[in-house]
Amino acid sequence: MKHVIIIADGAADHPVDELGGKTPFEAACKPHTDRLSMQGVQGTVATTPRGMPCGSDVCAMSLLGYDPLRYHTGRAPLEAAALGIALDLSDWIFRVNLVTVCDGRMHDHSGGHVSSEQGRSLLTDFAAVANLPDMALYPGVSYRNIMIDRSGHRQWSGLQTTPPHDIPGEQIDQYLPTGSLEDELLLEMIDKSQSFFAGHPINDQRRLNGQLPVTHVWPWGQGTRPDMESFEKRFGKRGAMITAVDLLAGIAAFIDWDRLDVPGQSSYHDTDYAAAGKHAIDALDSYDLVCVHVESPDEASHAADQVTKVAAIEQIDTHIVGPLHEELIRRGPDYRVLYLPDHYTLVASRKHNPMPVPFALCGNNVTPGRSAPFSEQNASHSGLHLDQGHELMNLFLAS
């Protein structure tokens, strides 16, 4: 029995005026995804538990079968694990974005999609002058980085931080770190980064190239190391993850999944969709469950780019959903496919939304439901609705 999960990150949306009042799912040409829906069943699942933030850390953990209310300790520890950073139980781990702030407002949560090479140089140079005792900065991918407080004595409990992608266009003053005894250290870090990055030669070059400069570091997503049991021990399946995002790779590391290296993968629409599909097919020989996560619809939403979002959904359909489904059919009837976004990301607001997401489930012993193309509205009209996101995995794996 082979299982495949395809996560189109942030692909769910509300109707978009520029798409003729359709959602990106409704506007996209996606025959293979629609085939899954019409041969199987659609439904909705609440991946964000009440009271928790709506982000891929919470939502992906939920849809992979782990209740975030029990296992989630913060986003940053998951990403640190993906980088192979050793974590002690006393460590506090932070995600640190390289961002662009203009006139006191959060202009871009990704520092103009700064490259990994430039991001590494900026962060490394800043770390050399930041004066952060017992704290280490680790460059990640593009604008995503990690900071770890190994002091063992600072009191970060109660700290409130805000994901920069949640406040596009808003004044940053009202979202600065607050609520702990150590706020001042982070505030000084943010202020110092503004002065340091202002004259950095990489930013001078980015301006000459018509690119946004990186203006600040932005710490958020803090937490401690989680204790998550092995997926194979819990569900009896050996799993693998294909993703360009450290967050998903970190969850995979904590549940003892392998992360499969796929050349050409990125978080944006320039990712090699076909390579992801091919590697997923190849992985079926070695794993019981293969998960393919694609970030590009989410990034398009954060950029308020409905055209690219539709194109990303179509590329996922063409190069991942279609080839994988055909390969599973070729191998025989013992398979299941689950297709879904982890959360809504709205083009109109450029923000995440915690409403239940649509999913399509197809394969062995799945009784077909309402025969309709895959969409938010059609899924909501089905009779299958899960209020606890982590219960979806049990449904998916049930034979």
Separation between Cα atoms, residue 326 and residue 219, nearest integer Å = 44
Given the structure tokens 């300790």, which residue do they identify? 73
DSSP state of 356: P
For residue 362, being part of any structural domain is answered with yes
- Same domain for 99 and 189, yes or no, is yes
Domain finish residue from 223, 254, 280: 223
Domain of 327 in residue numbering reads as 2-66+228-397
Query: In 3D, which of 338, 302, 316, 318 has the Cα closest to residue 271?
Result: 316
Identify residue 107 by its one-letter amino acid code: H
Separation between Cα atoms, residue 358 and residue 215, nearest integer Å = 37
pTM of the model as a whole: 0.85
- Overall number of domains in the chain: 2
Are 99 and 143 contacting, i.e. CB atoms less than 8 angstroms apart?
Answer: yes
Domain finish residue from 174, 195, 223: 223
Are 231 and 239 contacting, i.e. CB atoms less than 8 angstroms apart?
Answer: yes
3 state SS of 235: helix
- Hey, CA dihedral for 81, 224, 128, 244, is it positive or negative? positive
Are 34 and 352 contacting, i.e. CB atoms less than 8 angstroms apart?
Answer: no
Q: Give bridge partners of residue 42 from the DSSP assignment.
A: 360
Are 1 and 399 contacting, i.e. CB atoms less than 8 angstroms apart?
Answer: yes
DSSP state of 130: S
List Cβ<8 Å contacts ≥24 apart for 187-195. Answer: 189/130, 189/132, 189/217, 189/219, 190/216, 190/217, 190/218, 190/219, 192/126, 192/129, 192/130, 193/126, 193/130, 193/217, 194/101
- Same domain for 197 and 151, yes or no, is yes
Given the structure tokens 């895959």, which residue do they identify? 374
- Same domain for 317 and 232, yes or no, is yes
For residue 118, being part of any structural domain is answered with yes
User: How deeply is 387 buried, as exposed, middle or buried, from its count of CB atoms within 10 A (0-12, 13-18, 19+)?
Assistant: exposed
Tell me the CATH number at 23: 3.40.720.10
Identify residue 122 by its one-letter amino acid code: L
Domain finish residue from 223, 241, 260: 223
Taking only the tens of pLDDT, the chain with its 399 residues reads 999 999 999 999 999 999 999 999 999 999 999 999 999 999 999 999 999 999 999 999 999 999 999 999 998 999 899 888 999 989 999 999 999 999 999 999 999 999 999 999 999 999 999 989 999 999 988 999 999 999 999 989 899 999 999 999 999 999 999 999 899 999 999 999 999 999 999 999 999 999 999 999 999 999 999 999 999 999 999 999 999 998 899 999 999 999 999 999 999 999 999 999 999 999 999 999 999 999 999 999 999 999 999 999 999 999 999 999 999 999 999 999 999 999 999 999 999 999 999 999 999 999 998 889 999 999 999 999 999 999 999 999 997
